């Protein structure tokens, strides 16, 4: 592989790094005090995919160590946004359930974000996002598999 090709991949990772930083700051500026991006990510997942997942399942979904997920879930629980109940099917495990407050908080954040996204849409069109997304997903799946 020529050096120039290397540098393009390199540039992609660099861009991803900066974007992650910026988008996280962007989101967290609009979250209630004490809540950060991972909290919102989990909440959002519980709503769009459905609650009742176990912590390990969530950890796998978000590609974080289970110990990080424990911490994130503790925060959500402390803020009264989710509830942890035992898993009747497995005595070792728990299940995470949304509380109405969690849904409310997520909806409010989404609503606050709506107008912001319209701003973003002036820079990057919906079509462009739809063009980029499958490629990034391919890359993510590859890296995920390479991780083992």
Partner DNA sequence: CATATATAGTTCGACATCGTATCAATCAAG
Partner DNA sequence: CTTGATTGATACGATGTCGAACTATATATG
Which residues are at the interface with a copy of itself (CB under 8 A)?
A: 1, 5-27, 37, 41, 44, 48, 62-64, 110, 113-114, 116-124, 126, 128-133, 135-144, 146-147
Say whether residue 84 binds DNA (CB under 7 A): yes
Cα–Cα distance measured from residue 73 to residue 66, given in angstroms and rounded to the nearest whole number = 10
Where does this chain touch DNA (CB under 7 A) — which range of 11-19, 53-61, 101-109, 125-133? 53-61
Q: Least distance in Å: CB of 126 to DNA?
A: 29
Residue 141 gets the label, from left (phi > 0), alpha (psi -120 to 50) or beta, of alpha
Query: Considering the complex, what minimum distance in angstroms separates the CB of residue 71 from a copy of itself?
Result: 15
* 70 contact, one of DNA, a copy of itself, none, CB 5-8 Å limit per kind: DNA
100-123 vs 37-49: helix crossing angle, rounded to 10 = 100
- Smallest gap from Cβ 48 to a copy of itself, in A, equals 8
Count other Cβ atoms within 10 Å, centred on residue 95. 18
């Amino acid at each position: 592989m020529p050096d120039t090709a290397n540098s393009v991949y390199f540039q992609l990772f660099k861009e991803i790094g900066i974007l992650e930083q910026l988008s996280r700051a962007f989101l967290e500026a609009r979250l209630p005090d004490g809540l950060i991006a991972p909290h919102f990510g989990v909440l959002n997942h519980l709503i769009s995919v459905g609650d009742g997942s176990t912590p390990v399942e969530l950890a796998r979904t978000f590609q974080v160590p289970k110990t990080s997920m424990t911490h994130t879930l503790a925060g959500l629980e402390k803020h009264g946004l989710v509830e942890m109940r035992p898993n009747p099917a497995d005595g070792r495990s728990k299940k995470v359930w949304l509380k109405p407050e969690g849904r409310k908080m997520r909806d409010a954040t989404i609503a606050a974000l709506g107008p912001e996204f319209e701003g973003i849409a002036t820079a990057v069109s919906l079509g462009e996002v739809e063009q980029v997304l499958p490629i990034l997903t391919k890359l993510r799946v590859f890296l995920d598999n390479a991780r083992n």
